[in-house]
Amino acid sequence: MKFNRASRVLLSASAGLLGLGLAAGLPVRAETESMDTLEARLDAIWDHSNQLAAATSTCTVQRVEDEWRASGSPKKVKGKADLTDAEAKAAYDCIKATMYPRFAKSDLPGAKEFHTWSQYNTLPYQSGTHGNRYVNNWGNDTGKAYGGFEETKSVPVGTVLAKDGFHVTMKGEVKRAPLFTMMKKEDGFNAGSLDWEYALIFPNGKTMGVTNGKNSKKVQFCADCHNAAEDNDGMFFLPDQYRVSSK
């Protein structure tokens, strides 16, 4: 069976997410699965993780909330709402002032200042490898080569890339997502992560895991996914239509 690059990335992510699934108390199986089944399992893991990680805000998306009310305001709803670009921007603008200080409680690299760095997307966009959340891409000055996107084959030690985001429930509620960071370390730091230190920070500032540090196994899924982009030093890039001009 042959898989395209996107499929290989998803398969790699699934292998790494086994640890997260076990930590979340979800059943996991090692046998080969169809892509549809695999994607459903990934969604389930992210949804469960969200119960632990995402912090509810007071922000709402009016159109989605209105549609929920028009359907009878069911108490239980599943899935994440798809937004227009304008809705995604408004939702992020609503939560960011209260989200940044929460992440700033962490002392991990980038947690306090990531939002002051170069931003490589023009608007929040949906990321399939991040549970279809709406996300942003940030990078520090050391990692400015990231702005070259696919032309960039490596970045220097000290580069820190960050991804924050949110999702909107089918009730219209805007929920904060964890902050994901990756810091390029010296050769020999961790061959299994292409010498990147991955970290996942909950919206309350607490750490889920750090490569070679606290709960390292819980963020191994980050490396397993990013290693599929070895030709670009483990870096993925965002959809063309949301990219800023190359720096």
* pLDDT tens track, the chain, 247 positions: 333 444 344 444 444 444 444 333 333 333 334 445 545 555 555 555 554 445 678 899 999 999 999 999 999 999 999 999 999 999 999 999 999 999 999 999 999 999 999 999 999 999 988 989 999 999 999 999 999 999 999 999 999 999 999 999 999 999 999 999 999 999 999 999 999 999 999 998 999 999 999 999 999 999 999 999 999 999 999 999 999 985 4
- What is the predicted pLDDT for the residue at 245? 81
- What is the predicted pLDDT for the residue at 55? 63
- What is the predicted pLDDT for the residue at 43? 56
- What is the predicted pLDDT for the residue at 32? 39
CB 11 within 8 A of CB 32: no
Nearest to 167 by CA among 65, 92, 66: 92
Distance between CA atoms of residues 19 and 28, nearest Å:
9
- What is the predicted pLDDT for the residue at 10? 42
- What is the predicted pLDDT for the residue at 28? 37
Distance between CA atoms of residues 139 and 33, nearest Å:
36
Predicted TM-score (pTM) of the model is 0.80
> Which distant-in-sequence residues (6+ apart) come within 8 Å of 15 by Cβ?
221, 224
- What is the predicted pLDDT for the residue at 217? 93
Distance between CA atoms of residues 66 and 238, nearest Å:
31
CB atoms inside a 10 Å sphere around CB 157: 12
